């Protein structure tokens, strides 16, 4: 008996198709229709293919009898590593699958995987977990923590006259433009109380592509979504801060280091491009004003954004007032660029510290350093299979030490310099802090030991993956 035909969806920019195996009863028609609605803005083509086709799929969707699914080929961190049987149609994919209890969950996970596959093929494109909306020709990037209300606010804006650049997943190009994948909001049920969202809850609403008991996926073709691949520079960055209790609400300024931290936390570092993320975030915050949007209801948040745009009818949005005390501007300096020394060495120039077990260390080439206010951020791009990069945050003392490590130095010498500059701090505490930070930055691959050719690098440092580290973002 011939094998049942399979359907493949070929998405633009993806190196392999998504193959849909026939379901237990109704086949792939309903599944294909729903996926094409949820992912409708992403250019694609469909064709029939035998399960034994010589061209292996990148992802394979296996419907299960109870109405749930397995997505084979998903990222390792999302998979159940259950071994395949040799006769399985998915045996040529990497082992493991993600279990998806509903069509809405399957569509959401597949969207994430398609974004990861596309960005892996595109040099310089950085994924960011955020949303963006456009009104009056100006683009606002919406960031926030998990459950800060990005998707619900996006739906409210789309139903209130805004255009959507994308929800939940966007990308930033090397030129600082937002790249749209055209995803409409996926909303957690029950929806917040908001009259504008009522059309989404109507039975058989044409605005809804699919739903289950927990999630509702909007149909991008029925909402004012901009096309896939649209590139727009962000005119402002807004950090969402939803309040459950009464609080002072509005569009508020915050410190530069808080802006940097909030934006960096939204970048997706699957392939270890931490240095690129740090540089991209810094450039973004230099070009666009950033504000904290503190709100209680969706209508209040939408009203605040509308008023902000109306107050500045021109192309440029007003920059926020600088908090007091004002933070230092973001530094565009990369490691290796020179700056005046922080301290006079009082005759110690060129002199190494006494012999100690810790040796002499300096900055490792290729590390990106950015300073925002009295904090600093470190990152390096790591081309190591299976290892993600990280962005590290330094306090003011850590920033001073990092800049001192532009030149070779040992713990004793650096502790002595800091003790001269900060006589109010215990020398013992300074020595301890220098040793701890040197150990952590060395283990993370930001420092290199220069008096030992066999010094541990970022991938050979003992205990690098388990050692304590500066605060990670």
What is the pLDDT at residue 79?
52
- Per CATH, the architecture of 124-311 is what? 3-Layer(aba) Sandwich (3.40)
Query: Between β-strands 236-242 and 250-252, what pairing exists: parallel, antiparallel or unpaired?
Result: unpaired
pTM of the model: 0.77
What three-state secondary structure class fits 292?
strand
Q: What's the CA gap between 188 and 346, in Å, rounded?
A: 62
Sign of CA dihedral 147, 151, 155, 160: positive
What is the b/e burial string over 238-248, where b = at least 16 CB atoms within 10 angstroms of the residue's CB? bbbbbeeeeee
Please tell me the distance from the alpha carbon of residue 176 to that of residue 165, in angstroms, as a whole number.
Answer: 15
Reading the block at residue 382, the tokens are 């790591």
Q: At what angle do helices 427-443 and 411-421 cross, to 10 degrees?
A: 130
Instruction: State the burial class of residue 101 (Cβ atoms within 10 Å of its Cβ: 0-12, 13-18, 19+).
Output: middle
User: 15 — alpha (psi -120 to 50), left (phi > 0) or beta?
Assistant: alpha
- Return per-residue pLDDT of the chain as tens, 473 residues: 445 568 899 999 998 899 898 865 445 688 899 999 999 999 999 988 754 555 678 898 989 888 889 898 876 655 554 444 444 555 455 566 888 999 999 999 999 999 989 988 888 888 999 999 999 999 999 998 877 899 999 999 999 999 999 999 999 998 899 999 999 999 999 999 999 999 999 988 999 999 999 999 999 999 999 999 999 999 999 999 998 877 788 999 999 889 998 998 888 876 667 888 888 899 999 999 999 999 999 999 999 999 999 887 665 666 544 443 333 333 333 333 333 333 333 333 334 444 345 689 999 888 889 888 888 899 887 665 445 567 888 988 888 899 889 889 899 999 988 888 888 888 999 999 999 999 999 888 889 998 644 444 443 333 322 223 345 44
Burial bucket for residue 135 (CB in 10 Å: 0-12, 13-18, 19+): middle
Sketch the domain layout of the chain as residue ranges: 6-120, 124-311, 360-472
Q: Which pLDDT score is estimated for 269?
A: 73
For the record, the structure tokens of 324 come out as: 């007091």
What's the confidence (pLDDT) of residue 349? 36
The pLDDT value given to residue 467: 28
């Amino acid at each position: 008996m011939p094998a049942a035909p399979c359907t493949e969806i070929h998405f633009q920019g993806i190196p392999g198709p998504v193959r849909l195996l026939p379901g237990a009863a109704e086949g792939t028609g309903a599944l294909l229709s729903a996926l094409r609605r949820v992912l409708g803005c992403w250019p694609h083509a469909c064709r029939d293919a035998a399960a034994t086709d010589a061209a292996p799929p990148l992802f394979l969707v296996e419907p299960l009898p109870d109405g749930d699914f397995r997505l084979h080929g998903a990222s390792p961190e999302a998979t159940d590593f259950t071994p395949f049987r040799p006769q399985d149609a998915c045996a040529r994919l990497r082992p493991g699958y993600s279990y998806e209890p509903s069509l809405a969950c399957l569509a959401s996970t597949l969207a994430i995987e398609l974004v990861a596959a596309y960005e892996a093929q595109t040099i310089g494109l950085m994924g960011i977990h955020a949303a963006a909306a456009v009104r009056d020709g100006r683009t606002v990037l919406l960031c926030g923590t998990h459950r800060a209300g990005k998707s619900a606010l996006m739906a409210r804006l789309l139903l209130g006259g805004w255009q959507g650049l994308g929800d939940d997943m966007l990308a930033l190009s090397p030129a600082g433009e937002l790249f749209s994948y055209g995803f409409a909001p996926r909303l957690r049920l029950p929806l917040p109380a908001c009259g504008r969202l009522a059309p989404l809850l109507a039975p058989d609403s044409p605005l809804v592509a699919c739903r289950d008991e927990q999630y509702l996926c909007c149909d991008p073709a029925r909402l004012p979504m901009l096309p896939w691949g649209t590139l727009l520079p962000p005119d402002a960055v807004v950090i969402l801060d939803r309040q459950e209790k009464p609080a002072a609400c509005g569009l508020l300024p915050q410190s530069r280091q808080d802006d940097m931290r909030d934006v960096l936390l939204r970048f997706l570092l699957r392939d270890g491009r931490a240095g690129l993320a740090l540089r991209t975030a810094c450039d973004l915050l230099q070009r666009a004003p950033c504000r904290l949007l503190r709100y209680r209801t969706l209508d209040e948040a939408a009203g605040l954004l509308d008023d902000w745009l109306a107050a500045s009818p021109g192309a440029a949005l007003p920059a926020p007032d600088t908090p007091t005390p004002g933070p230092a501007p973001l530094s565009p300096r990369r490691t290796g660029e020179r700056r005046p020394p922080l301290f006079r060495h009082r005759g110690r120039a060129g002199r190494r510290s006494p012999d100690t077990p810790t040796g002499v260390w300096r900055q490792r080439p290729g590390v990106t350093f950015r300073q925002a206010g009295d904090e600093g951020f470190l990152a390096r791009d790591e081309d190591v299979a299976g290892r993600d990069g990280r962005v590290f945050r330094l306090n003011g003392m850590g920033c001073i030490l990092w800049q001192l490590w532009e030149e070779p130095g040992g713990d004793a010498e650096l502790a002595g310099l800091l003790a001269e500059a900060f006589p109010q701090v215990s020398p013992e505490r300074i020595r301890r802090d220098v040793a701890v930070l040197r150990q952590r930055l060395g283990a993370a691959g930001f420092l290199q030991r220069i008096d030992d050719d066999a010094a541990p690098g970022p991938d050979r440092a003992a205990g690098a993956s388990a050692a304590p580290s500066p605060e990670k973002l």
